[in-house]
Structure 1
């Protein structure tokens, strides 16, 4: 009978090492092994110098490790170590494939816990100093992504909400803009694009929806897009 250690799914936050939670940093310092995403920075990994590091990263649009293999590596690590951290970018429970990993962990009777992280949408709003909600203008927010499971077609419908936040939206920018314009959104609808959110090489771009239709060729890093009237520049 295999005796397993405990697994923690820890949110690394948007990128900057000092934006991880205190609990997450403590668990990294105590971990025996850390299985980490591709977007986790070297500064973040410096918080766990004692741990065995296993890269299990996935990057949108790039060849990467299949999710079932990642699941099995987590199980194998729990069979070998007592304290296992699965370090996931952002928050594990939002576009982090936590459901698949939790299912695999629980199917083996392994004890597990989840530590939340600052999701990219909130970090991007903070970096741009642009609230996602504004009294009298926007009281609802939708987080969405177009990517789906490998055997399913990409999602093309868009949520109906005052403020839209698209994760992993760089490659989908043109399609998103055209869909929104076709739905009747004004061409001058404000858009904020945040590339490499919270990192030293972060870039913030402000443009109208009509320009988003031209794409984001200037962006090479991970992109998050915030769209809606709440993104308009504040009048001073």
Structure 2
């Protein structure tokens, strides 16, 4: 019989680089009795988990679901009641398109104590890893973070609204909708708007493609970019090249 109090802690693992998980998240992992982890979680993080904890992979890879969401919800409740502290380890931040809120609500409805440890979102960290700020004086005063694909597997209607603004637009899970995204921005006359696509951001597998709305599809094809990737549209993308040019010029002066 389990004498431990049932508890769920939803934990953000960060964007991929294991150094970008929070100290609090690491402390919680050491107290876990069961850890349910996703496909986007860096496998190296498993070494920081309580060695006595049961590890259960519940993620999605290449379109194949190990568990459906309803099964994950039920598993959380069952393991919390049988083992005690369940940690739901999710990539990025669990409250940004991570369904962490849904899992907490489900568990709470069964009388289970719930908590969340925020994570560093890939929507912020991945562009930053390529020296792309989401806001910059004179370039962007705000930013949108949008899912590219809704639960109905359609392109988000918010992208059309975002294309009309001067804000930086960050699109997650949008690679399959890239042709449609491009057309929406072209319809707003933003053919030359800079765009960056970053695959496997902050990891050793990171790949990037930099271009404009008109050229990005060709670049994606040439570099064979695919999910998981972040799409960033906006003048702030130019900052990356500016930094590279400044560094190159400085290096040339030192050599000279």
- The two structures have a TM-score, normalised by structure 2, of 0.84
- Corresponding residue for 2:212? 208
Correspondent of 1:230 among 221, 233, 236: 236
CA distance in 2 between partners of 1:207 and 1:157 (Å)? 23
The alpha carbon displacement at 1:221 in A equals 4.2
Partner of 2:250: none
1:82-139, Cα deviation, whole Å (9 max, x unpaired): 2210001100110001232122111101101000000002211221111111102100
Tell me the residue number matched to 2:134: 132
How far is the alpha carbon of 1:157 from its aligned partner?
4.0
TM-score (norm. length: structure 1): 0.91
Structure 1: gaps spanning 5 or more residues: none
Q: Using a 3 Å threshold, how does the CA distance of structure 1 residues 133 and 39 change in structure 2: closer, same or farther?
A: same
Alignment of 1:93-108 (within 5 A): 93-108=95-110
- RMSD value over aligned CA atoms? 1.9
- Name the one with the larger helix percent: 2
Secondary structure in 1 matching 2:8: strand
Q: Compute the displacement of 1:156 (Å).
A: 3.7
Q: What runs of 5+ residues in structure 2 fail to find an aligned partner?
A: 247-256
| Offset, 1:27 | 0.9
Q: Is 1:23 paired with 2:29?
A: no
State the Cα deviation string for residues 16-51 of structure 1 (Å, max 9, x = none).
111110000111122111000111122011111332
Give, in whole Å, the separation in 2 of the partners of 1:168 and 1:153. Answer: 11
Segments of 4+ moved more than 3 angstroms: none
TM-fit CA distance, 1:68: 0.7
* 2:134/2:168 contact within 8 Å kept: yes
- Partner Cα separation in structure 1 for residue 46 and residue 18 of structure 2: 9
Q: Distance in 1 between matches of 2:148 and 2:158?
A: 9
Match of 1:147 in 2: 149
Distance 1:81 1:213 in 2: 49
Aligned length: 232
